[in-house]
Amino acid sequence: MQIAYRARDITEAHIIAGLLKTSGIEAHVGGHYLQGAMGEIGTAGFTNVHVDDEDWVRSRALVEDYEAGRLA
């Protein structure tokens, strides 16, 4: 598995995971339990969206579109 996105918080991670899933890419959000331990731990890089190795390139293209505001 590869990290497709490093989210600021758990909510943003789930938004990205949902975007990927609607595009047919299985995504896993990590960091659920760590968030509660330290509050905004997402900024420390613990809240990530993971995808299978073979889906990484396509998932990164979708994330880049999201970040650039090209998705409506």
pTM: 0.80
Query: All domains of the chain, ordered by start, with CATH?
Result: 2-67 (3.30.70)
Distance CA 62, CA 42 (A): 21
Written as six digits, the tokens of 29 are 């959000």
Q: 39-51 pLDDT, tens per residue?
A: 554 455 578 999 9
pLDDT of residue 33: 64
